[in-house]
Amino acid sequence: MATENGQDLGQKVPRQERVGRDGMKPRRIDWKWLLLGLIALLLVGLAILPRLFGDSSQLANRASGALAAWTGGEVKLTGPLRVQYFPDVAIKSGFELTNASRLPMVKSIVARDARISLDLGALFRGRMRVDAVRLIRPEIILKEAPSLIMGPDQTLQARVANLLRGAPLRVLRVRAGTLRMPTASGTETIDKIDARFDLSSGTGAMSSFGSFVLRDETVGFALDSGVPAETTDGLSFPVRFAFTSTPVTATVTGTASFTSGFELEGDLQADMADARAFSRWAGIALAEGESFKRLSASGKARWNGMTLIVDDGSFTLDGNTAVGALAVTPGARPRIDGTLDFDRLVLDPYVGSGAPAVPPVSVALTDQAVLNYFDTDLRISAAEITAPAVKLGRGGFTISARQGLVASEVGELEFCGGSAAGRIGLDLSRAVAKATLTGKLSDVPIEGCLGPLGLRVPLSGVGTLKAEFSTEGRDYHELTQGLEGPFKIKARSGAVPVDIARLFAGPGSLEGEGWSSNSVTAFEDLNAECRLGDGHIWCEKFNMQTGRGLISGSGDVNLGQQTLDWRLFVANHAAPLKASQLSAETPPRISISGALTQPMIRRADRPDLGKGSVQTNTKATQVSPR
């Protein structure tokens, strides 16, 4: 099909070339000429930039002046001084900062290698803005006591607000830095500081992260702070801080504020795999031990500049979890105050799964002398307390420690179906520790409860024990072995494993039988006044009311040799005495001597006394009932 001009519709029309007004074709610009133009422009810029911005010394003075105004101190750029204009405008030299009023903790910062990158756009507008400061191997020295003397415009919160909001730089980079801070014992050094601080928002918000080495442990950190805000209480801003290391990991999310000092409040989560190892890393020479290991804490926390306070917190130590409040004050002797409530308190980490159980506080106090390094005021309660070989229940006690002098009171403790109460004092400040124990066990089943405590008494019944012991030793074993002092036992509705009726009716001895679990003598009441010391239990008064009468006497138990030597007599016989007994005016007597597990039991008023018996301590005397 053809058109009016005779062309076919399917035939392509050739594209017309563009021409200028003069009818000539435009020339194509070769890329090589474009590159040469850019190079020429760059060379011209390099030639005129120093004229626009000033020479090297002028530019360096402007940069150091901006940093000095920001920090409130004296900034020096020490030679050799080098200024580069490509690929960015940067100053390379040494760096010194001193007397920075807005950095009240910092005495000086010195770096031999520093790079200050400048904002080119701000320079064209006649302003000075630092894009980034990089300090290589700087040495940062902190003050011993920062000055708090200041005018109204130089309060701590004003300094911090001006420091964050008026920053003339976007990024501060520190590599291989060293920080030295004075302590009570000398100077603490933090090495290998590698950190990046980003203040590019211009609002006062900051983001930072990095790592450092403290006491041979690598510590990683991340710190993000929001826009500062003025409140009636001073300056405050949101903050999130994370701290990661082998000894401890911790995160805090909350609000930081400045009034008379720095304060922080927020949600805390802290974990320690080994609290003893953390203590040693923190400078507390705590020995190795089986307890005070895994520790974690979480809850609402406040730091007031001196003390970390955790309210409504959850705490886990050695597998035991408690809720309550805790306050920790760091120092040469850290102080711990708090109230802790455990659902279940397991004492196995403190006494060992196979060790005889004792009241919980006394064990905890002697476990590697933890309280020799801390001052404490703790109130502890538990719905259930468990310990090896003994039945405990609900309990409460306090622990107070000052300079190694420890006092503890057990005010409420369910013990073997009865109760326990008492007070423990321990002096850990000496090479040989001294301890005192005043306690009372009430309504305790004697046979099933005192045995696991190491008090193996051959009788049954429900009893009460009152004791006033003292001891000294270098460890828990020596402390328990050295216990000495008086104690009293009262028991009711029980029995002794001796068939006294058969003893009086028979030939006068129970040969080969010893204690009898089948033939016993029941008693209504039992009272004994005894003393523990030198590995012996000596009871000078013993009265037991039985159906046959009142049996009295005295005796000795050798704990080391596991032997006993007792002399008893029937002071009030139920049946009429025989004529021979009346003429002699001697009541029936009983001798119990020999091995504690299988003693010789015989009538001591018979002429054949001593035949076949085991000889033991003969100091025992007969004491008539009062």
CA 514 to chain centre: 53
**Is residue 574's pLDDT more than 60?**
no
At 324-373, the pLDDT tens digits run: 999 999 888 899 999 999 999 998 887 655 444 444 444 434 445 688 88
Give the end-to-end CA distance of the chain in Å, rounded to a whole number: 149
Average pLDDT, the chain: 79
Helix (H, G, I), strand (E, B) or coil at 366: helix
Region 70-76 average pLDDT: 88
Relative to beta strand 169-183, strand 130-136 is: parallel
- pLDDT (0 to 100) of residue 323: 97
CA-based nearest residue to 616, from 541, 563, 540, 568: 563
At 476-535, the pLDDT tens digits run: 778 888 899 999 999 999 998 888 777 777 665 555 567 877 788 899 999 999 999 998
Region 316-321 average pLDDT: 95
Spell out the domain ranges in the chain.
Answer: 49-227, 230-342, 354-483, 496-603
**Is residue 42's pLDDT more than 90?**
no
- Higher pLDDT pick, 372 / 167: 372
**Is residue 88's pLDDT more than 80?**
no
556 burial via Cβ count (<10 Å: 0-12, 13-18, 19+): buried
- pLDDT (0 to 100) of residue 416: 84
CA-based nearest residue to 380, from 350, 411, 343, 341: 341
Residue 547 and residue 504 in contact, taking contact as beta carbons nearer than 8 Å: no
Two tokens, residue 96:
């010194």
Neighbouring C-alpha atoms within 13 Å toward the C-beta of 494: 25
Region 202-224 average pLDDT: 93
Q: Round to whole Å and give the CA distance between 278 and 272.
A: 7
Q: Round to whole Å and give the CA distance between 571 and 588.
A: 8
Please name the helix (run of DSSP H) or strand (run of DSSP E) that holds residue 532, with its range, or none. strand 521-533
Region 288-300 average pLDDT: 91
- pLDDT (0 to 100) of residue 205: 87
Q: What percent of the chain has pLDDT over 70?
A: 74
Relative to beta strand 405-415, strand 392-402 is: antiparallel
Range in 155-169, 176-190, 239-253 with the lowest mean pLDDT: 155-169
DSSP state for residue 51 in the 8-state scheme = H
Residue 620 and residue 554 in contact, taking contact as beta carbons nearer than 8 Å: yes
Residue 14 pLDDT grade (very low, low, confident, very high; cuts 50, 70, 90): low
Region 32-57 average pLDDT: 56
Q: Round to whole Å and give the CA distance between 436 and 405.
A: 12
> Which residues have C-beta within 8 Å of that of residue 600, sequence separation ≥ 6?
509, 514, 591, 592, 593, 594, 612, 613, 614
